[in-house]
Structures are given as structure tokens and as C-alpha cells.
Amino acid sequence: MINVTKTFLPSLEEYQTYLEKIWKNAWLTNRGEFVKELEEKLCTYLEVPNLLFVNNGTIALQIAIKALDLKGEIITTPFSYVATTSSIVWEGCEPVFVDIDTNTLCIDADLIESAITEKTTGILATHVYGIPCDVEKIEKIAKKHNLKVIYDAAHCFGVNYKGQSLLNYGDISTLSFHATKLFHTGEGGGIVVNNQELFHKVFYMHNFGHNGPEDFFGVGINGKSSEIHAALGLCVLPNMEEIIAKRKEISLLYDDILLKNFSLKRPQIPSETEYNYPYYAILFESEKKLEEVQKRLNDNDIFPRRYFYPSLNTLNYTNSFSCPVSEGISTRVLCLPLYYDLQLSDVEKIGKLIIL
């Protein structure tokens, strides 16, 4: 069976070494030494000023919304994982959907300004498949209208844009370290904040509001992660260059096989992007063709994923917005298997089954 993804697992012996130390210390949570070490190493690797390790990528989004004190309407994308929208609703705000760019599949920055009202307080945009949004245009709009910007950067581990980490754009960027992600801690997430005062606010929010053992700075939640998860991340992190290189090799082989078939298209990566190859998405000319190919692959024990589907503006707990580009693309996009130990012979098999 070939699934859309497979978790990279480091050396069990190496992980066991960390676990033995955790057992010896009897310190499993509440910001132990491995959590702090992982945060420091991630800051260095990602070239960001700070990073807070939290227990998942969804709580990272919720804390970001709360820390920026967003109310009312938040402009967002309909083409993302459901957590991007559900976090907005969960925090008592209203998602206002703006359609997506046909090339990058990220939010169409040219449509944002016309969606701004007196109730708008922020923009929450997703770097889809690790492809950068139009960050310069979004920053200009945000400054003009005094709006906060959160980037859902769940797919962006290691992506650089114009010579710096993509995570350095916006007020806050959030990451997912779920087991299916490029870098993972089993379950986990990260929050990157460019303002040190705001980072302090995010820090206390993820720990019940604690500002010391007997003092509370303000309202908080339990967003902490454990030593066990941090230890897994410390074992995975040294392998990242090799992981990305292998995924690039697989992606380029897919390109060589599939892009000769001119009915298939791929999302476009902007120039000056150092990419991380987190997904391999293809666009079919119709949903019927996608379903035909998906069935053929499934019949051969190959399981790609319709990612993202459905378009989030069609969810039954949000207001109705017309997003024809997102609605159309969500019915035609398929993510193919892509993971570290996927064999090139299997890639060739998948490609041949698609272009039959």
C-alpha cells in the first residue's frame, strides 16, 4: 500500500537515548530541557528571532488570533485545511473569504482590499503547499488599513523567500509539526512572532496565563507540549537536509513524467523562493478526470488525497461567499504520494497509471 504520505522515523536507538534521560529526570512536561533545546535549535535552523513549541498547529492559530486581540471579521482563504477556518470561528470571529490566485493557489491579494469593512481586524492567509503568498502586497494593505497579519505556515518548514525565512513575514506565523508534516514531533506546532513584546504575550498565553509560578499576566490556555514530543523533534531535525533533498528528487521525477501530459498543471512557485517540497499537487482539467485517475490508483493500492477539498467557503458553519476559483480548483486538485522512502520505481508506476 502506498499512501499519500508516510511519517519519517529517526533511529529508534537515538530516540531511546533521549527517553532514558527523560525517565531519569522524571520531567515530562512544563517546559523541560528538551523543549527548550528544540526551540533554540529550530530558531537557528529556520533563522527566526524566536519560536514557541506548542502541542499542535491548531492551538497555534487560536493563540495567534487571541494574542493579536482580533475581533469581528478576519479576511482569509477558502483554500486551506479546515483548521484555518475553524480557528477563526472557534475564537468568536467571522471568516470573510477572498478567492485565490489561479497560479499559486494562495489568497488573491488583489481581492483583499475590496473585502475590508469597518469590522475587519486582521488577515489570516495560508502559504498553500509551502508556496509564498504575495507577502509584500498583503503587508502594504495591512499597514494602510491598520490590520494584523497571521500566516498559516503549516507547510513552510525551511522555506525561504527573497533571502530570508518566509516565517519572518506578517505579525505571527504558525507551524504544524504533525506526524504527516515535513518536520514533525508526532504531534506539535510552532508560533513565530516578530515583535518581542507580543512574543511574551504569546508565551504566557500558551501556559495558562502564567507570568511566574504564582502570578498571572492574563488569560491563557494549555498549549504546552511534552519532553517526549520534543525529543522526537530533536531526532528528526538533523535529517532535514536529506529529507528535503529526497523529496525534491521525487518531485522532479514526477515533473518529468507528468508535465509532458499538457492536460495536467501544477501550482506555480514564485521566483526567489527556496522551496521545501512538502506536497506534490496536480490539477486535472475536470473533477471527472480526477475521480477516474483516483479510482485507478486506488485499485492499485495507491492512495493520493484530495487536498484541499471541499473549498472552505462552503462549510455549513460559515457565511456564504462566492469563491469560484477556489471552488473549481478544490474539485480538480490531487496530492500524490510524496515521502522520504518512497521508491523511484513506485513514482514511475504512479506516473504511468495517471497518464494512461
Q: How far apart are CA 277 and CA 268, in angstroms?
A: 12
pTM of the model: 0.97
pLDDT in tens, the chain (356 residues): 999 999 999 999 999 999 999 999 999 999 999 999 999 999 999 999 999 999 999 999 999 999 999 999 999 999 999 999 999 999 999 999 999 999 999 999 999 999 999 999 999 999 999 999 999 999 999 999 999 999 999 999 999 999 999 999 999 999 999 999 999 999 999 999 999 999 999 999 999 998 877 888 889 999 999 999 999 999 999 999 999 999 999 999 999 999 987 789 999 999 999 999 999 999 999 999 999 999 999 999 999 999 999 999 999 999 999 999 999 999 999 999 999 999 999 999 999 999 98
125: helix, coil or strand?
strand
- What lies within 8 Å, CB to CB, of 146 at 6+ separation is none
Give the strand pairing for 273-274 and 160-161: antiparallel
The 3-class SS string of 230-279 reads HHHHHHHHHHHHHHHHHHHHHHHHHHHHHCCCCCCECCCCCCCEECCCCC
Domains annotated on the chain, with CATH: 2-238 (3.40.640.10), 239-354 (3.90.1150.10)
Check residue 207 and report its DSSP letter: B
Chain position carrying cell 520534543: 230
- Residue 41 sits at φ, ψ, to 5 deg, of -70, -35
Chain position carrying cell 515530562: 28
Q: How far apart are CA 147 and CA 153, in angstroms?
A: 19
Check residue 26 and report its DSSP letter: T
Could you write out the DSSP letters of every residue in 279-344?
-EEEE-S-HHHHHHHHHHHHHTTEE-B-TT-S-GGG-TTS-----HHHHHHHTTEEEEP--TT--H
